[in-house]
Chains A and B, each alone.
Chain A
């Protein structure tokens, strides 16, 4: 079975700067797989994700998405670090925004919105304005908006880095729950190795200048995982050595 996302020999440099941020990067994500990309700041983790999301253009290399067009769905959806809700739309309206152009009937659209609101436990807050949401709620709303388009690939750019530690743990568990229900593949960018090991099937380490794939480490720990379990901590520690 072909991977859902295949990145081959990808390089990226900003504008006139001849030194690439990352170079000759190879990475693939299988259908339904949860892959975390970790690395220090400046290695181009977010840029890599933007390339996959078609929000930035790589200098060379190839990105292949093996995702057939399906009716009323987008092939990939992005969750941003800052939640990025449109402040002039209520929560419900923000979710609806991603559905525009999918030719859903009014009823289907409502059903989609209600479905993801329930999945992210935001039903009660559907009529709030974004500024009336906490950081964690805004982040869940961003996830809800992405899920509503029924993507096959979910692109997440450090989605939990701006929320407090306790909220982060809740959101991580919710994400795992949602991921198992939807079966979408996830490409998850983070600088937190423990988070990566806790969530992912595979952890990819980027480092160096230009950055390359330093390590591609399967995480073969049974789910549900314990955050403080010794094997998880050991693996996180081993990965940290590569950074």
Chain B
């Protein structure tokens, strides 16, 4: 009896959902308690119960949707360019000893530089624009994808190339498309997925340079002490990230359906 109860909560989907919900409720309760009992200094902590109203206000004042859309513009551009270039450079660097040696020092010098350090040049080259924010996002995403692709391609099991050779499958392009790419796809896609998260991390910071978007709205709200609005933007960011990650995970699963699950 005891064990069947326990297994309901941890094994049954309804039980797990209820437990998950309980975790959220407990968190909000502690949060509310902190606010009403004055654990946190008054005015520095948002009221969780006012969040629904704030969400409605932000929506009605026509700030929320434009901010999301604006963020998405440089998010998509930054993510897209960073992913594409990271993949191309990583694949190229890993595919010959010449290119590998040629780029090794350069990568070692540039890779540790945090993407946000490039904000200075983003402003200098692109002014305060989508392009500037996209540039900063792209740099972070680039390195994630570059490294994932580089190591995935380097780690393709040589036995598959031997097989290609044994069956007369010659030519760089043939091998790249039929062996290297599918063999390294799991690593490359894992990198792309990490990049999707990385892009969100950089996004908000990149917008602090004044490009319209959720980061800027957050900053503006914080400036006038509207902490509930800040939380709304935080939650929206969480939601959009979860959506994009879920979509990509589905795509990944489809592409990699050959792997044992």
Contact = CB atoms under 8 A, between A and B. Distances in A.
Contacts of A130: 258
A97 B179 CA distance: 11
Nearest to B169: A100
Nearest to B161: A55
Interface in A73-116: 74, 77-78, 80, 82, 84, 86-90, 97-98, 100-101
B258 A55 contact: no
A86 B167 CA distance: 13
A54 B166 CA distance: 7
Interface in A96-148: 97-98, 100-101, 129-131, 145
B167 A98 contact: yes
Interface string B142-183: 000000000000000001101101111110001000110011
Main secondary structure on B side of the interface with A: helix
Contacts of B167: 74, 77-78, 97-98, 100, 145, 149
B185 interface: yes
A131 B259 contact: yes
Contacts of B165: 54-55
A55 B166 contact: yes
A53 interface: yes
A130 B170 CA distance: 23
A74 B167 CA distance: 8
Contact of B163 (A84, A101, A129, A149): A84
A86 B181 CA distance: 12
Interface string B204-216: 0000000000000
Contacts of A77: 166-167
A87 B259 contact: yes
Nearest to A130: B258
B223 interface: no
B112 interface: no
A78 B259 CA distance: 25
Contact of A131 (B163, B174, B260): B260
Nearest to A53: B166
A95 B194 CA distance: 35
Contacts of A98: 167
A97 B166 contact: no
A74 B159 contact: no
Contacts of B183: 88
A84 B260 CA distance: 16
A28 to B, nearest CB: 22
Contacts of A82: 159
A125 to B, nearest CB: 15
A61 to B, nearest CB: 21
Contacts of B159: 80, 82, 84
Nearest to A148: B167
B182 A86 contact: yes
Nearest to A142: B163
A78 B169 CA distance: 13
Interface in A155-170: none
A89 B165 CA distance: 17
Given A86-B182, A87-B259, A88-B185, A80 B169 contact: no
Nearest to B182: A88
Interface in A9-65: 53-55
Contacts of A90: 258
Nearest to A74: B168
Given A80-B166, A90-B258, A97-B178, 18 more contacts: A53-B166, A77-B166, A80-B159, A84-B159, A84-B160, A84-B163, A86-B163, A86-B178, A87-B258, A88-B183, A88-B185, A88-B258, A89-B182, A89-B258, A97-B169, A100-B167, A101-B168, A131-B260
29 contacts: A53-B166, A54-B165, A55-B162, A74-B168, A78-B167, A80-B159, A80-B163, A82-B159, A84-B159, A86-B160, A86-B163, A86-B182, A87-B258, A88-B182, A88-B185, A89-B258, A90-B258, A97-B167, A97-B178, A100-B167, A100-B169, A100-B174, A101-B168, A101-B174, A129-B257, A129-B258, A130-B258, A131-B258, A149-B167
* 7 pairs of A and B residues whose beta carbons are closest in the complex: A88-B182, A98-B167, A78-B166, A131-B260, A88-B258, A129-B258, A84-B163
